[in-house]
Amino acid sequence: MSSEESESPQRLGVTRRQLLASGGLVAAAFVAGSTISQFTQSDANDERRAEPVEPVEPVEPARAASDPVDLSDWEAVRARFDASYDTAHMAGMLLASHPQRVREAIESYRQSLDANPVNALNQYRERNENRLNEDAEQWSMAAAGRYFGVDPANVALMGNTTMGLAMVYNGLHIEPDQEVLTGHWNHWATEGSLQYRARKSGFDVRNAVIYDDLQTASEQELVDRLVDQITSATRVVAVTWVHSVSGLKLPVGQMGRRIDEINEERSTDDRIVFCVDGVHGFGVENAVMADLNCDFFISGGHKWLYGPRGTGVVIADPQAWQFATPTIPTFSGHLTPGRQFTPGGFHAFEHRWALNEAFEFHLDIGKARIEQRIHDMTGHLIEDLAQMDHVRLRTPTDSALTAGIVTFEVNGRSTYEVTGHLRHRGIIASTTPETHRIPRLTPTLLNDHSHIERTLTAIRELR
Ligand SMILES: Cc1ncc(COP(=O)(O)O)c(C=O)c1O
């Protein structure tokens, strides 16, 4: 009996997504996940267990205490970062500047590792379920769970978004006669992962065009056009929540609901697995996993989340792990599906272990406040840029379709003329990831409305 049949949430009178929100199926799905048990191995292979483990001095577990500073005011939040205030960092999402509590946690773990690497590993990496409260990976998984409304058992730790996408797309069970449907635009991290996998496995990757003009597109159109292109061969739908090339935010939750309806008619082997590159919504949108109705959610921790550089997560619906096999053997034990999906090898542990601090930072400030703040600054930019005759906005003006990314062109000016001019005015912009790059502005917690005004003034000068 498949785990889908054995765990049918419909039989329990609730939807699978409701169960996901409550974490109710985690334990059952883990036990029932046949693929998971296939790759589960004994910890006997673990090289650490081959050596006698030195007793370690008990140390205070890293805390999830609140930031001691009152974060109710945006200046106080801004002051937690070392990034210079004189420069308007309008590309702050590209690679995080670490807030103080992340910096301090990294530094404290680094000191432990430098003082005694083996002891630090023994101290902070425990797989024994009785000692999970002493495992720094567990703290990061638990904080991700608190932040995104999931059981930590369904959180896998990654080195970045790209690694998470590659782990998912390389590992999904897709037959040669099935296909992957991709949503109009995806970052190369998704496209490359799918291309490499398709080359080995022989399935088709088909691109669904889901809008013609971003200025007239609507949520309904985006959802309908994606769903209309699903066929009986579609095994995977791969989309990007917020597009780094345009700033478009897809109505992922609505797409997931429609995919759920289609799945009600399908068997486990044909079920559509819905995967989302969520990196530019994670840390911006006040959402939890259940809002997105997806099977696999993949994100970096080092962009909008301001987490340690070189971190990321894969978060899955408890029922979804059975559709994928990991590529990189875990060193994190096999207690949960998320741990089994967490790539092994040794890492920059001080960064991986400090990821919890980034989630706690967001929770301390408040996810709703952060969303409001970033949307306010994005709206300010879009509204004023839309009034400028010499500017062509690519980002939709419909606020339902945006998050924190604004892309635009200036008539008669090359991209690098625009970003160069901004740089002369003390403004750091980035450019979109495509062959013909265009300027991109992304207000973050490093910014305030004076930075937005300065940026708008500089763009007006390019008339
Ligand atoms: C949409 C999107 N996905 C994935 C990535 C890759 O992110 P990472 O550096 O975390 O692998 C990027 C890079 O900026 C991106 O814009």
Contact between 56 and 343 under an 8 Å Cβ cutoff? The reply is no
Query: Is the pLDDT score of 22 beyond 60?
Result: no
With respect to residue 95, please indicate whether it lies within any of the assigned structural domains.
no
- C-alpha closest to that of 359 among 415, 416, 315, 316: 315
The pairing of beta strand 406-410 with beta strand 391-393: antiparallel
Cα(160) to ligand 1 centroid in Å equals 8
Query: What's the pLDDT at 64?
Result: 54
Residue 308 near residue 351 (C-beta atoms within 8 A): yes
Query: In angstroms, what is the C-alpha Rg of the chain?
Result: 22
Cβ neighbourhood burial of 323 (10 Å; 0-12, 13-18, 19+): buried
Burial track 256-276 (b if 16+ CB lie within 10 A, e otherwise)? bebbbebbeeeeeeebbbbbb
Distance (angstroms) between ligand 1 centre and the Cα of 49 equals: 36
Whether 259 and 314 map to the same domain: the answer is yes
Cα 190 to middle of ligand 1, angstroms = 9
Structure confidence at residue 184 as a pLDDT band (50, 70, 90)? confident
Which of 343, 363, 383 is the last residue before a domain boundary? 363
Q: Which atom of ligand 1 is closest in space to residue 245's alpha carbon? A: 16
Determine the distance separating the centroid of ligand 1 and the alpha carbon of 270, expressed in angstroms.
Answer: 29
- Report yes or no on 106 lying in a domain: no
Mark whether 409 and 273 lie in a shared domain: no
CATH number reported for the structural domain that contains residue 437 in this entry: 3.90.1150.10
Distance 162 CA to ligand 1 centre (A): 6
Ligand 1 atom nearest 243 alpha carbon:
1
Q: Do residue 383 and residue 441 come from a single domain?
A: yes
- pLDDT given for residue 127 in this prediction: 64
pTM of the model: 0.88
Is residue 331 located within the same domain as residue 454?
no
Asked if residues 456 and 381 have their Cβ atoms less than 8 Å apart, the reply is yes
Query: Are 282 and 296 in the same domain?
Result: yes
Which amino acid belongs to residue 167?
Answer: M
Ligand 1 atom nearest to 242, measured from its CA: 1
Q: What is the DSSP letter of 311?
A: -
Summarize pLDDT for 249-262 with one digit per residue, the tens.
999 999 999 999 99
Residue 325 lies in a domain: yes
Q: Residue 207: which CATH number?
A: 3.40.640.10
Buried b (16+ CB within 10 A) or exposed e, 11-22: eeeeebbebbee
Among residues 315, 337, 27, the alpha carbon closest in space to that of 155 is found at 315
Indicate whether 22 and 154 sit together in one domain.
yes
Residues 419 and 439 in one domain: yes
Same domain, 394 and 339: no
DSSP secondary structure string for all residues of 256-308: HHHHHHHHTTS-GGGPPEEEEE-TTTTTTS---HHHHT-SEEEEESSSTT---
Q: Does residue 64 form part of some domain?
A: no
Residue 399: inside a domain, yes or no?
yes
In the chain, the number of structural domains is 2
Ligand 1 atom closest to 160 (CA): 10
Q: What is the mean pLDDT of residues 13-18?
A: 34
Q: Tens of pLDDT along 202-227?
A: 999 999 999 999 999 999 999 999 99
Task: Return d(Cα 66, Cα 60) in angstroms, integer.
Answer: 16
Residue 89 near residue 97 (C-beta atoms within 8 A): yes
* pLDDT score recorded for residue 294: 98
Q: Which of 313, 338, 363 is the last residue of a domain?
A: 363
Residue 174 covered by a domain: yes
Answer yes or no: do 332 and 443 share one domain: no
Residue 31 Cα to ligand 1 midpoint, Å, equals 33
Residues with CB under 6 A from ligand 1: 160-162, 187, 189, 240, 244, 277, 279-280, 300, 312
**% of the chain with per-residue pLDDT over 70:** 85
Could you say which of 309, 344, 363 is where a domain stops? 363
- Maximum CA extent, the chain: 71
State the Cα–Cα distance between residues 67 and 77, nearest whole angstrom: 10
In a domain, 122, yes or no: no
The answer to the question of residue 76 being in a domain is: no
Q: Is the pLDDT of residue 58 over 50?
A: no
Same structural domain, 315 and 410: no
**Domain co-membership, 322 together with 340:** yes
- Give the confidence band of 123 by pLDDT, cuts at 50, 70, 90: confident
Pocket-testing residue among 95, 244, 351, ligand 1, by greatest number of atoms within 8 A of Cβ: 244
Same domain? For 438 and 328 the reply is no
- Token couple for 286: 């006040």
Question: Is 46's pLDDT higher than 50?
Answer: no
Domain hosting residue 332, numbered range: 15-42+132-363
